[in-house]
Amino acid sequence: MPTHHELFASPETVHWGYFDARLAPVLSIESGDTVTLTSVSGGRNILPPAGNGMVVLPEHLDIHARHTAELGPHILTGPIHVAGAKPGDTLEVRIKAIEPRQNWAYNTLRGGALPEDFGNMHRPIQIAIDLETKTAHPPWGGQIPLSPFFGNMGTAPAPTRGRVSSAPPGEFGGNMDIKDFVAGSILYLPVFNDGALFSAGDGHGAQGDGEVCSTAIETALRGTFEFIVRKDLRLTSPRGETPTHWITMAFDPDLNVAAKTGLREMLTLLGEKTRMAREDAFSLMSLACDLHISQMVNGPCGVHAMIPKAVLPE
Question: What's the 3-state SS for 69-123?
Answer: CCCCCCEEEEEEEECCCCCCCEEEEEEEEEEECCCEEEEEECCCCCHHHHCCCCE
Closest CA to 221 of 25, 74, 80: 74
Q: Is 268 exposed, middle or buried (0-12, 13-18, 19+ CB in 10 A)?
A: middle
- The reported pLDDT for the residue numbered 30 is 98
Structure confidence by residue, pLDDT tens digits, 265-292:
999 999 999 999 999 999 999 999 999 9
Check: CB of residue 283 under 8 Å from CB of residue 267: no
Q: What is the DSSP letter of 104?
A: E
- Average pLDDT, integer, range 245-263: 98
- The reported pLDDT for the residue numbered 121 is 85
Sign of CA dihedral 170, 176, 180, 186: positive
Structure confidence by residue, pLDDT tens digits, 116-158:
999 888 899 999 999 999 999 999 999 999 999 999 999 999 9
- Average pLDDT, integer, range 225-247: 98
- Average pLDDT, integer, range 26-52: 96
Structure confidence by residue, pLDDT tens digits, 176-220:
999 999 999 999 999 999 999 999 999 999 999 999 999 999 999
Q: Which domains does the chain have, with CATH numbers?
A: 4-230 (2.60.120.580), 244-311 (3.10.28.20)
Rounded to whole angstroms, the Cα distance separating 133 from 252 reads 38
Rounded to whole angstroms, the Cα distance separating 244 from 266 reads 15
Which pTM value belongs to this model? 0.97
